[in-house]
Amino acid sequence: MALIETVRLRQQYDGRDVLREIDLKIERGEVFALIGPTGAGKTTLLRLIDLIDMPTSGKIIFDGADVTVSERVRLETRRRMAFVLQKPIVFNMSVYDNIAYGLRWRGVGGRKVREKADSILE
């Protein structure tokens, strides 16, 4: 059984396909590299696999469990993961900005960022 599997994964933005019908299997212990030109959908695929974003359609399966069926399962699985960018942008800003960046990365916007960051810092 694959540790990570995608089945017919699709992601659209503004009605435009960014990823279409992606089938992928990564076995436990396997080293996996994702390469391609700018705009090919690498970051989109990684954001989906890391459960930061939800796909337009298709499945993401971790260790045999379909994590796209419920928000609860997705969040439980997400808490066991990490996402490291190629060029680190955190820790070279203020503590507040680092917290706000993480929230923005997860799609939190505007006033909610300030409220949550202030609450976390409190």
The CA distance from 17 to 19, in Å, is: 6
CA distance 3 to 62: 5
Give the residue, 25 or 79, on which the prediction is more confident. Answer: 25
Instruction: Please determine, for residue 50, whether its predicted confidence score (pLDDT) is greater than 70.
Output: yes
What pLDDT sits at residue 62? 93
Q: What does pTM read for this prediction?
A: 0.68
The pLDDT value given to residue 103: 85
CA distance 111 to 122: 16
For the segment 72-116, what is each residue's pLDDT rounded down to a tens digit?
Answer: 888 888 888 877 766 666 567 788 888 888 888 888 888 999 999
Tally of CB atoms within 10 A around 1: 9
Q: Which of 2-16, 18-32, 94-108 has the lowest mean pLDDT?
A: 94-108
- Nearest CA among 80, 78, 67 for reference residue 105: 78
pLDDT exceeds 80 at position 29 = yes
> Across all residues in the chain, what is the average pLDDT?
88
Q: How many CB atoms lie within 10 A of CB 49?
A: 24
Q: Where are the alpha helices (DSSP H) in the chain?
A: 42-49, 71-78, 95-105, 110-121
